[in-house]
Structure 1
Amino acid sequence: MSSTNEEVDLELPPFIRLYKNGRVERFTVPTILPPSPSDPTTGVASKDVFIDPATPVSARLYLPPNSSPPPPTKIPLLVYFHGGAFCIESAFSSTYHPYLNNLAARANVVIVSVEYRLAPEHPLPAAYEDCWTALRWAAAGSDPWIAEHADLNRLFLAGDSAGANIAQRMAVLAGAEGGLSLEGIALIHPYFSTGADVEGSFGDRLWRMLCPGAEGGTADPRLYPAADEEAVKGMAGRRLLVFLAEKDHLMEKGKAYYDVVKGSGWGGAVELVETAGEGHVFHLLKPESDAAGELMELLAAFLNAA
């Protein structure tokens, strides 16, 4: 029989189990892939860098093959935030490394994929703080790949699920803080409030685990940014692209967010793309599908539009 210390305190499948003694068990443990000086399929080079060793915040950088030697015209810079409900996954995983290799090659962009700290060991706002540190680091051209190849006037943010939540939050912070110009933000199946306004629901328990002491549901603009129209109106960026999927349980809140941005008076251009018949992050789960290929094409076009 298990001791009291080994009793389960909170279980949130398919993500995580917490024990009363503080031990954390993740149901999904990502396979970590190494960077490569030249991906055999795409020719994209990748490397890992420490941004803030004291935290630590790190990132994987991707450089497409036609950027070496540097072309006369520099290429866009994309800062990408991975998903995983703020508590699982990694920028270095077998989910994200192949996807961003392909995106860097297809869109011809330099990518900074951020490895941020995860909850519950590091509750929110740790992930937001890490990503803000990484964004400012990237925007300053702090790595030679960025300084030599990236056009810092064409800086984009993107992410999926919790990573899309982070990207939206970074755009709000950039607008509030000033001094950081964004060309565009792409949100793929964003993790915004879904049932978290119902006390005791799965969404409520997940959010309170991620962010102890926070208000649930639509009361917290980090979880439900549509609740703070003034912050949305003040977002940095010239263009916003929101991807939604018909069978995604998050679609309703993503559509509400799009509607709020469009009606807020935000000065940028807003576009919505809805994929029929697909579920949450289908482009990562079924990367060879036609729908995933179409999403990749639309994202690449967004990153290269004048």
Structure 2
Amino acid sequence: MSTTSPASGVSASEMPPPRVVEDLLGLVQLLSDGTVKRAQARLVLPDDEPVPSADAPPPVRWKDVVYDETYNLSLRVFVPPAGAEKLPVLVYFHGGGFCVGSFAMPEFHAACLRLAAELPAVVLSADYRLAPEHRLPAALDDAESLFSWLRAQAAATGDPWLAESADFGRVFVSGDSAGASIAHHVAVRVGSGSLATGAVRVAGCALLYPYFGGERRTTSEAACPADKILTLPVSDQMWRLALPAGASRDHPLANPFGPNSPALDSVALPPVLVAAGDRDMLVDRIREYAARLNATGNKRAELAVFPGQGHGFFTLEPDGEAAGELLRVVLRRFVHGGTAAPAS
């Protein structure tokens, strides 16, 4: 039996199948009827955790916790072996251009294991809703929900792992690429007073190669080096899929210093650390971001640029030399000492 659309007079069996209108690296396909197809990603799940041997040093513990029941959103809690003092908390948002990614992907899982073990810190690695099914500001709304959950944890110390190990007076918001963009917007919302934190004190913001955009091409974008992970066409496509329909790359959620972006002069931002590789297509935009923050007169943004590194170097090679330097020399000092490496 066939059905006919009153508007078209064409039977359902005669209608052409939906076509692919956007294909993001074979990972996400947006079809003409609005549906989205996603490739299955390889994930690290709790059942995959190896059983430590009796004579091995205590490993980093990790588990998954639901922080938003409405959208069934989870975060992964990483806690290093217990010490005499409670540890700072690093809230971490993964990258992926707002369109792909999960804390359970091997590269993000490995990076957060290393962050927890070597900073050391309690790391909360969060998932959020992805575009194009959920365009921005959905991811930022989810970040607010996470901080509501964290605020409740600080008030009632509900999760025993956090009650045992987390110092809620030293919370750092962080992330890589699109996750770093989320971290920036979280810090702005906290600093402007629109996001209440209660007993949670945001002590700093650590942005790893933040994913910002803009209609004007920077020199490094125009040169568009052959990066392993991010090229100009891919970046433009992810913004098309992630931003509100019809928005340009100067939308405030993409360009923090765009023509319609709110001024940050009066926002009480915490200390900001920005890290990037000098072969990253976005390096000029990242340099400009740090300079513009400091130009407001009351912001302390420090920039660390790593020679020979492209976009995503910390998560692509978490055991690499550059990732080790970023962690041990830059991030550890920023989180535990309140200052970062000198700006390059």
Match of 1:210 in 2: 242
- Deviation per CA, 1:240-288, whole angstroms, max 9, x where unpaired? 1000111111111111111110111334x32100011110011222223
Give the count of matched residue pairs: 295
Aligned position for 2:204: 184
User: In structure 2, how many angstroms separate the alpha carbons of the residues matched to 1:221 and 1:21?
Assistant: 28
In the alignment, structure 1 residue 80 sits paired with structure 2 residue 92: yes
| Residue in structure 2 matched with residue 230 of structure 1 by the alignment | 263
Aligned to 1:51: 67
Q: 1:259 to 1:233 in 2, by over 3 A?
A: farther
Counterpart Cα distance in 1 of 2:184 and 2:324: 24
Residue aligning to 1:147:
163
TM-score by length of 1: 0.87
SS of the residue corresponding to residue 230 of structure 1 reads coil
Q: What TM-score do you get using the length of structure 2 for normalisation?
A: 0.78
Given candidates 82, 87, 93, the residue that maps to 1:66 is: 82
Residue 11 of structure 1 corresponds to 23
1:20 maps onto 2:32 in alignment: yes
Cα deviation per residue 1:174-216 (whole Å; 9 max; x = unaligned)? 1122543310000000000055879xx7645432321233531
Q: Which runs of structure 1 show a deviation greater than 6 angstroms over 4 or more consecutive aligned residues?
A: 37-42
Task: Name the SS for the 1:32 alignment partner.
Answer: coil
* Aligned mate of 1:295, from 298, 320, 326: 326
Asked if 1:162 corresponds to 2:178, the answer is yes
Deviates more, 1:292-301 or 1:205-214: 205-214
Q: Residues 37, 136 of structure 1: CA spacing in aligned structure 2 closer, same or farther, 3 A cutoff? A: farther
Q: CA deviation digits over 1:67-124, x for unaligned, max 9?
A: 4xxx3x3110110000001111101111111111111010121111111111111121
Residue 31 of structure 1 aligns with an amino acid whose one-letter code is: R
Query: For residues 236 and 319 of structure 2, what CA distance do their matches in structure 1 show?
Result: 34
Structure 1: distance between partners of 2:182 and 2:101: 14
Match of 1:244 among 237, 262, 276: 276
Distance 1:41 1:130 in 2: 36
Does structure 1 retain, via aligned residues, the 8 Å contact 2:92–2:125? yes
What letter is aligned with 2:28?
I
Q: Structure 1: 5+ residue runs without aligned partners?
A: none
CA radius of gyration, larger in? 2
- Per-residue CA deviations over 1:142-192 (Å, capped at 9, x if unaligned) read 522223321111010110000000000100111122543310000000000
1:134 aligns with 2:166: no
The one-letter code sitting in structure 2 at the alignment partner of 1:271 is E
Mean Cα deviation higher: 13-22 or 177-186: 13-22
Distance 1:232 1:182, change over 3 A: farther
1:30 and 1:167 map into 2 onto residues whose CA distance is 24
RMSD: 2.6
Amino acid at match of 1:172: V
Q: Quote the Cα distance in structure 2 between the aligned partners of 1:137 and 1:231.
A: 26
Between 4-13 and 106-115, report the one with greater CA deviation.
4-13
Whether the 8 Å CA contact 1:37–1:47 is kept in 2: the answer is no
Deviates more, 1:10-19 or 1:220-229: 10-19
Question: Is 1:284–2:315 an aligned residue pair?
Answer: yes
8 A contact 2:94–2:108 mirrored in 1: yes
Q: In 2, Cα distance between the equivalents of 1:205 and 1:103? A: 31
Structure 1 counterpart SS, 2:257: helix
Shift of 1:235: 4.4
- State the alpha-carbon separation in 2 of the partners of residues 17 and 159 from structure 1: 25
Distance in 2, Cα, partners of 1:139 & 1:38: 33
The residue matched to 1:294 in structure 2 has which SS?
A: helix
Query: Alignment identity in percent?
Result: 35
Distance 1:182 1:53, change over 3 A: same
Which of 17, 31, 46 aligns to 2:42? It is 31
Aligned counterparts of 1:8 and 1:91: Cα–Cα separation in 2: 28
**Aligned: 1:97 with 2:129:** no
**1:303: how far off?**
1.3
Between 108-117 and 174-183, report the one with greater CA deviation: 174-183
Tell me what 1:106 maps to.
118
The residue type equivalent to 1:183 in the other structure is: A
Query: Match of 2:42, as an amino acid?
Result: T
1:97 and 1:48 map into 2 onto residues whose CA distance is 12
**Paired residue for 2:288?**
256
Check 1:214–1:262 CA distance in 2 against 1; reply closer, same or farther (3 A cut). farther
Contact 1:197 1:204 in 2 (8 A): no
Instruction: Say if 1:264 and 1:203 are closer, same or farther in 2 by CA, change over 3 A.
Output: same
Report the residue type matching 1:231 in the other structure. L
Residues 162 and 191 of structure 1 are in contact (CA less than 8 Å); yes or no, is this contact kept in structure 2? Answer: yes
